[in-house]
Amino acid sequence: MVTTTRGKYIVTTGATLVEVVITVGILVTVMIPLLGLLSAAVETSGKAASITTSARIASRLLGEVQQADWTKLEDWKNKDVYLDDQGMECIGAKGQENAVYTARVRLGPTTGVQMTTTPTVPANSWQRQAVVMVASRPGNSGKTSLDAAEAAIDAGRAVPREVRISRTLLVNLEKAP
């Protein structure tokens, strides 16, 4: 710090090296934890966006399956759908290459749903279980994740982390011929 006298006034300009070092030390001490929090916030925000998009994809696919003609439900069985980062279907020759998410609809047996644990009560053939699996991976990597999720569901194990599962019960409300 430089001190000069001009008439009756003392003029002080600049800062000493010690003051600058202390100021920088305080800033670094405060900024490093904040940067760590920032990276954690960005990661959490990305996961939340992925979960939200996966839920929107599953909801849309379940809605389409529920609105489908009951006799044409088999068209949905194990059909892979490729979607972009907004959850819109990627159509065309490069659809699989441009995809960010891969989704698959898995349907329960055509015999219906067993509503009781009593084996003598027949399954309700007007109901059918539907499972939508959404992998936050594109193309062949997504197909591999969905295959692993199906195997885990069949074996009663936990599904891979990158796969979100949504289940619903389909009910045939069409009039009988």
Residues 45-63: pLDDT tens digits?
888 888 888 889 999 988 8
HSE value, Cβ hemisphere, 13 Å, CA-based, for 125: 5
User: Model-level pTM greater than 0.75?
Assistant: no
The backbone torsions φ and ψ at residue 111, rounded to the nearest 5 degrees and listed phi first, read: -75, -15
Q: What are the tens digits of pLDDT across the range 1-25?
A: 555 555 666 666 777 888 889 999 9
Highest-scoring range by mean pLDDT, 76-90, 115-129, 153-167: 153-167
> Considering only CA atoms, which of 80, 64, 81 is closest in space to residue 72?
64
Query: What are the structural domain ranges in the chain?
Result: 2-171
Higher pLDDT pick, 168 / 158: 158
Predicted local confidence at residue 26, as pLDDT: 93
Q: Is 99 helix (H, G, I), strand (E, B) or coil?
A: coil
Among the listed residues 150, 138, 154, 175, the one whose alpha carbon sits nearest the alpha carbon of residue 53: 138
Average pLDDT across the chain, whole number:
81
Quick one: average pLDDT of 118-126?
68
Residue 34 has a pLDDT of: 85
3-state secondary structure of 171: strand
Q: Per-residue pLDDT for 176 more than 60?
A: no
What pLDDT is stored for residue 22 in this prediction?
92
pLDDT of residue 114: 62
Q: What whole-number distance in Å separates Cα of residue 39 and Cα of residue 132?
A: 32
Per-residue pLDDT tens for 136-161? 887 788 888 989 998 998 898 998 88
More confident site: 4 or 66 = 66
Residue 77: count of CB within 10 angstroms of its CB: 12
Round to whole Å and give the CA distance between 146 and 148: 5
